Amino acid sequence: MSFHYFAGHAFRALTAQKDGPSLYDVCDPVLAGPATGDPHLAKFYKTALGNPALRALLRRAGLPDLRDEARLTRLRAALTRARDDAEPDWEAVGRPVADLLDTIALDHPKPPPTPFNDAAPALAEIDNVIRDCAHHLLRSYRQNGFLPTYAAFNLIGDPDLRGRELIMALTGLNSRGYKNSSLLFNLARVFIARSSARAIINPPWRGIAEPMWEPVQIRHRSAYYDAFFIEALLAYGETGLASPAEATAAKTAIADMVDFCINISREEVMGADGRRFDVITALAPSPHPRFSRFFAQIKQDLGFGVYVPDCDTTACSFSAATQAGSEDPILAQPLLDFYAGYQVREGVNEPRVTVPLNDNIDYEGGVATWIDNLAGERPYGNDLDPTLNLDILEVSFRNLARWKILETPARLATVHRIIAFQKRLAASGAFANPRSHVYYLPELYSAYFGRCYAAFLSLPLAAQAAIDPDGTFDFIRARVLGYVQGEMLVAEMNAFDAALALIALGHLGADPKTFAPALNCIVRALGEGGRRGPFRAYEWNKMKTPTRILVGGPEVTSAFVLMGLAVARKVMAGRG
């Protein structure tokens, strides 16, 4: 977006006619004075919503609905109960905010169609982009001592989180601080979405994955991110394009990241059967996440004080370590025994999913996200994401023999239930609906299915038959390919979308001629990142609560572009 775009919309926001009470008219009488009751609510309000820049932008954003004195009084009373009650009734507290939330209209991106370009760029151009991305990753690692990822807030929130889903979050989350931040962020969403500030906070963009507008905000390190950076550097090595010095540098970085994933980020937890397991936490103890002192305090103030392990970070870390050739004893643990305790079984443990934001899908057979730590803490309640379950299948295929999955009926049954969960998702078409996903885009699900499918095809035929006797993987493959070719490739894309398309197309055995739109998109976009890298920062994954928090970064885009081009290059050379 140009300077003139932001300047014009900022002028309109700052000079708009105020039509009813603003966010600050509502909250200041309750939360701006001396703290009483739960101190976090007022602290969060002053830190996140009361900062001078946002206050200036929203001070004239009034809601005519709140000119109704009775409605305004109910809203303030709800905020007062959230502040003062020892055990608030969160459904009652959230209801006035949920009713306002249902007055806003947000939509997922709908990129316009674009002509199909069947002339792919030359192999030399593809190789140059691969090298640029690898050079960016290795340079960033050398400069920082790790590969950073960033988190950024989009205060307008997620289109799928409306009043009903807010009540789900307030009643299903366990951390009071997280409930506080969800309540106030979602109240602010209403004033943003119904004012001129909307155009500044949520400007339009090209493609599906949302760009992370400058400044990219919170730099940090996580085992989940390191796992995919490992895969990207391994992919670079497989292309044969690395110089001897680069190969050595990549090997050093990979070894460090493997250690970070399976040692530094390791945490012991209790399985459902009483056994103890070593799993991987998404945020290792300080100072390993590499937050600045300022953002470490902000994280605390926003309600992210306790971070627990999760099933996805564990699966991806184990997978990356396996691909890198690690023989660490942690990998000998049959993770499926642990995951079975978090697998939803209809009528048995369905309440395990306490925040069912995507309850349009059938959870039977899926594995939930968050892992209780040894202290029994579960700040985020629990949810269930389809893409996470692909990662569990992928790591299981890579460790099929090590974990004796085919020889252990209970482990094989856990795999079969996850596959059945994925089949229902594909058969219904729900995988293509953004609402079905808690942390990811359908486009990313498609790429991750390709990654999972490639691991499946690497197994002996007898093992494939035992795992998938009904041909479910080929059924899902057809559905995902149809989505990528019929939806993604015929519409406007950005570089991250294009990388995801290539990962899916290459792994799923698509005709190389269909790669052209994605390849051309990436080659055209090269250089868009300016001084930060070859490409801009885009949305990799997200959180829908407490508001829409995007995670990505320039290094992330380089990693995914590198992986997408490496897969495409291999297929185009006839080696797929």
323-367 confidence digits (pLDDT tens)? 999 999 999 999 999 999 999 987 655 568 999 999 999 999 999
CB 194 within 8 A of CB 103: yes
> Quick one: pLDDT band at residue 47, thresholds 50, 70, 90?
confident
| Average pLDDT of the chain to the nearest whole number | 93
CA 241 to chain centre: 30
State how far the Cα of 301 lies from the Cα of 156, in Å rounded to an integer. Answer: 20
Contact 562, 127 (CB under 8 A): no
- pLDDT (average), residues 367-392: 93
| Segment 159-183, tens digit of pLDDT | 999 999 999 999 999 999 999 999 9
The pLDDT of 127-138, averaged and rounded, is 98
Q: Measured in whole angstroms, how far is the alpha carbon of residue 523 from the centre of its chain?
A: 25
pLDDT score at 473 = 98
Instruction: Show Cβ contacts of residue 451 under 8 Å, excluding neighbours closer than 6 positions.
Output: 390, 394, 503, 507
Q: What pLDDT, on the 0 to 100 scale, is given for residue 293?
A: 61
Q: What letters, b where the CB count within 10 A reaches 16 and e where it falls short, cover 351-389?
A: ebbbbbbbbebebbbbbbbbbbbeeeebbbbbbbbbbbb
**Which is more confident, 351 or 519?**
519
Give the mean model confidence (pLDDT) for residues 36-56: 90
And the tokens for 23?
């966010």
Residue 264: is its pLDDT beyond 90? yes
C-beta of residue 231 within 8 angstroms of C-beta of residue 567? no
The pLDDT tens digits of the residues spanning 177-217 come to: 999 999 999 999 999 999 998 888 888 899 999 999 865 57
**What are the tens digits of pLDDT across the range 60-107?**
999 999 999 999 999 999 999 999 999 999 999 999 999 999 999 999
How far is the C-alpha of 307 from the C-alpha of 221, rounded, in Å?
14
User: Residues 231-236: what's their mean pLDDT?
Assistant: 98
Task: Output the 3-class SS for 80-132.
Answer: HHHHHCCCCCHHHHHHHHHHHHCCCCCCCCCCCECCCCCCCCCHHHHHHHHHH
Mean pLDDT lowest among 184-198, 275-289, 311-325, 425-439: 275-289
Alpha-carbon distance of 390 to 61, in angstroms, equals 43
d(C-alpha 169, C-alpha 105), whole Å? 20
